[in-house]
Amino acid sequence: MSTRACYTFKDEHNAYHVYKHFDGYPSGAEQWIRAALDHAWKLPRFEADDFGAAFIAANKGENGGGNCRLMHSGDIKQMASADIEYRYEIEAHNGVLHVTVYSTDYWDSPIEEKLWSGPLSTMKSWADQYEKETA
C-alpha cells in the first residue's frame, strides 16, 4: 500500500523530517518507529538527529531508492509533498518515546488534523482501532 507519510523527529533543539513512501498508515508507522529503536541511542537518551538517522537505517530496506529519505528541515507545511496522508511527530518525554499522529491535506492549503497523541507503547492498540473504524 502506498500510503505516504512524513515523520518529524523533535528534541528541545531541532526537528528533522523524513519521508517514507509506503505503509504510512498508523499501524505501519508504529512498526517503522519501533524498528528504529534498535538503531538509536538507548532511551532515555534521545536526540532527534540520531533517531531520524536510526529510522532511515531501519526502514530503507531492499527497495532502497526513494522509499525512505531525508526532507529539508524547517516548517513542514512549506516543504511537504502534497500527497502525504499522515505526519508523525516523535519525541521523548521523560525518557519515553511519544508520538503525535496527524492526518494531512497539503494539496491546496496545508491542513493537519491531530488524531492521537501518546506513548509509542500504546500506539498499536489505538492504530488498530482507528483503522478498523475508518476502513
Q: What does each of the 135 residues of the chain score in pLDDT, given as a tens digit? A: 589 999 999 999 999 999 999 899 999 999 999 999 999 999 999 999 999 999 999 998 766 677 888 888 888 877 778 889 999 999 999 999 999 999 998 887 788 999 999 999 999 999 999 999 998
pLDDT of residue 33: 98
Name the amino acid, one letter, at 93. Answer: H
The DSSP output letter for 82 is T
**CA–CA separation, 9 vs 11, rounded Å?**
7
pLDDT of residue 64: 64
Cell of residue 115, nine digits: 488524531
Name the amino acid, one letter, at 76. Answer: I
**CA–CA separation, 47 vs 91, rounded Å?**
9
| pTM > 0.75: yes or no | yes
Name the amino acid, one letter, at 36. Answer: A
Query: What are the CA-CA distances from residue 111 to residues 11, 24, 52, 99, 106 (Å)?
Result: 23, 17, 24, 19, 6
**CA–CA separation, 48 vs 135, rounded Å?**
33
